[in-house]
Amino acid sequence: MRIPSFLLIINILLLNSCGQNTRLPQFSFNDSTYLKFHIKNCRTPGSFTVSYVSICPLEQNDIDISYKKDTTGLIKLLVNNPVTINLGLSDLSANCFNLPKDTLDIFIDFSPLQRQKISFKGKCASISNYLTYYKYNIASVPKNFQSVGEYTSQVDNLIRKALFELHSFDSKTPLPDWFVKMEVLDIKYSGARDKVYQFKMRRRFNFKYQFIPDDYLENLDVRLNNPKAKFSLSYYGFLNHYSTLNFYNYLGRQNISTNDAYLFILENIKTTQRFLHSDIKEIYIAQRICALLSKPMVRQALDNNDQLYFQRVDSLINNARDSFNDDRILNALIDYQNRQFRLDYY
């Protein structure tokens, strides 16, 4: 029995669309994503900031955009990965989402009659609407009077609320399957990160050492090695704190020394060698070395003529080379090192 050609075409289209809807995106090195802004009903000049974090290399990026009237403009962001982008206006904020090679249209309407002043159009519009208007923020810190068990229960409740909001939104405005799975992991790792970080927070703010209960880490309901979470910043935050639970010299201080940063990152990498495998291991090693190559670290080393810092960076990269099977990740790390060490960059 022959299948009519038009049915074959429909089946192929359905298979392709389902694949795009279910398959987790991959890293797309040396690529870009585009944001097209549409400013409407502008009465006074203003500006907003576009902020995003790239995962490999790990880097915070901030771009300031100014406008004087109703206008349309396109900006290009260099990204390797699906990325969440924060838009910060004077009295508005939004978190949009886009993929490499795609364009997201962002409409900012300053009309006093407009209820939702920021809207989106494009392949990732529904994701951006979820992140801006529906995502439940679960970040929390332990209060002085809370026991470990009480704080853990509080975080578990926040996780349940965040998952409920995600699935509630998805039932009304379907999100791509791959994003839902990725967001579920991000929510769970965000909670696990806070549960682990609480022990450092208690030491920092309460000035006391809190013993970690037996089996506490084993009952976090997350995996250490999880390639499916490779686009989750919460996952990497969890790994950072898990691998340095007893490292109290690095507690989020603003002016940490390059030596303390190096020791902290060395602990991260030791955990990597023990627990992580395949591409997630390579990504995490590159990401942690990039953290030591941040602009504040390099500037501090240059100001102090800290030759030991530069030797340590070279040593970390040379020792890590054998861990990289993907030359693209290693090249991204080396390119980032070269860019950060350019004197004209400062």
* 54 and 112 together in one domain: yes
Backbone region of residue 142 per phi and psi (left: phi > 0; alpha: psi in -120 to 50; beta: other values): beta
Q: Which domain holds residue 170?
A: 135-232
Question: Are the C-beta atoms of 161 and 134 separated by less than 8 Å?
Answer: no
Number of domains composing the chain: 3
| Closest listed residue to residue 96, CA positions, set 83, 108, 109 | 83
- Residues in CB range of 184: below 8 A, 6 or more apart: 163, 166
Report how far apart, in Å, the C-alpha atoms of 199 and of each of 194, 202, 224, 245, 246 are.
9, 5, 18, 8, 9
Q: Is residue 3 one of the residues assigned to a domain?
A: no
Q: Is residue 268 one of the residues assigned to a domain?
A: yes
* 262 and 202 together in one domain: no
Supply the CATH number for residue 30's domain.
Answer: 2.60.40
- 10 Å Cβ neighbour count for 127? 28
CA atoms within 13 A on the CB side of 69: 0
Cα of 180 vs its chain's centroid, Å: 16
Q: CA 343, CA 57: separation in Å to the nearest integer?
A: 20
Query: Pick from 124, 157, 175: which residue ends a domain?
Result: 124
- pLDDT tens digits in sequence order for the chain, 346 residues long: 444 443 343 343 333 333 346 688 888 888 899 999 999 999 889 899 999 999 988 888 999 999 899 999 999 999 989 999 999 887 778 999 999 999 999 999 988 877 778 999 999 999 999 999 999 887 777 887 888 889 999 999 999 999 999 999 999 999 999 999 999 999 999 999 999 988 877 776 665 666 777 788 888 889 999 999 999 999 999 998 888 876 654 444 556 788 888 888 888 888 888 889 888 999 999 999 998 998 889 998 988 999 999 999 999 998 888 888 888 899 989 999 998 887 655 5
The pTM assigned to this predicted structure is: 0.86
